[in-house]
Amino acid sequence: MENYNGKVAMVTGSSAGIGAAISKALVKRGMKVVGLARRVEKLGDLKKQVSKEPGQFYGVKCDIRNEKDIIGAFEWVEKNLNGVDVLINNAGLMKDTNLTDGDTEKWRTVFDTNVVGLCIATREAVKSMKKRNVPGHVIHINSIAGHRIHPGMAHLSNVYSGSKFAVRALAETLRLELEHHKLKIKVSNISPGYVKTEFFSASGYGVPEAFKDIAHLNPEDLADAVIYALSAPSNVNVSEITLLPI
C-alpha cells in the first residue's frame, strides 16, 4: 500500500456499512478518500471518526442514480485533488419487489444504482486515470448473488441477482477493454456472501428470518479484501475475490 500513500480514492455508498469500513481502512493507510453518498450527515460523522488518521476524508453528496451528481463529484475531485487513482464501486441496493408482478420503478432503481451508476462512475474514473497516465485501480463490490442464485433466496433476489451478474460481466469486460488499449489500470471484482449491515432494512424487507442466526461477514472483512487487491505487486491483477462466512 506504500504506493498509494497520498493517492486519491473515491468510494461510492460511503456513508455506512461496507463503504464506510473501506473508507476508514484507506484513510488509515494514508490515502485521500472521497466518500460519495446521499446522507451528508453520515459523511460528516465519518470525517470526524478518521480525523486523526494519516490520510484525509472528504464527503461529497452524490446520488449514484443521478448522472449529473456523479459527473459533478468527479469534477470536484479534478478541481480540488487533481483526479482519482482508485475507484471503489460499492453503492448498491435491493428492492422489495419480484419478477412475476413486480414494480417497474423498483426494477429501474436497482439497475440504475447497481449497474448504470457503476458504469458512469467507472467511465469518469478511467477518463481521469487515462488523462494523467496513472496506474489506477477500479474495484467493484459485488455479491455472491452475482455468481449463483440460491433457490431459497429467489423470491428476494429477483432483479438484484441479475444486476450483480451484470456487474461481474462488466468487471471482466472492462479489464479486457483496458488491456486492449494498453492502459495501466487494474480491475477487481469482490463478491461477498452475507455481510451484516443495514442492507436488508434499507431494501424494505427487514432482515429475513433465514439470515438472523447464520454465519456472516463484517464490513471490515470487505475492507481487508480491498487492501489485499490494492497491495498486489504491479505485475499482478487480482481479478476476482470471493468471500464466504464460516
Catalytic residues: 160
Grid coordinates belonging to 121: 462512475
Rg (Cα) of the chain, in Å, rounded?
Answer: 17
Q: Residue 151 carries which side chain, given as an amino acid letter?
A: P
Residue 76 makes CB contacts below 8 A (sequence gap 6+) with 34, 60
Gap between the Cα atoms of 88 and 93, Å rounded = 15
Tell me if 95 sits within 8 A of 102, measured CB to CB.
Answer: no
Residue 143 has, within 13 A of its CA and on its CB side, a CA count of: 24
Helices 104-111, 154-180: inter-axial angle, 10-degree rounding = 40
Q: Strand 56-61: give its sheet, edge to edge.
A: 56-61, 32-37, 8-12, 86-89, 137-141, 186-192, 240-243
3 state SS of 149: coil
* DSSP H or E stretch at residue 35: strand 32-37
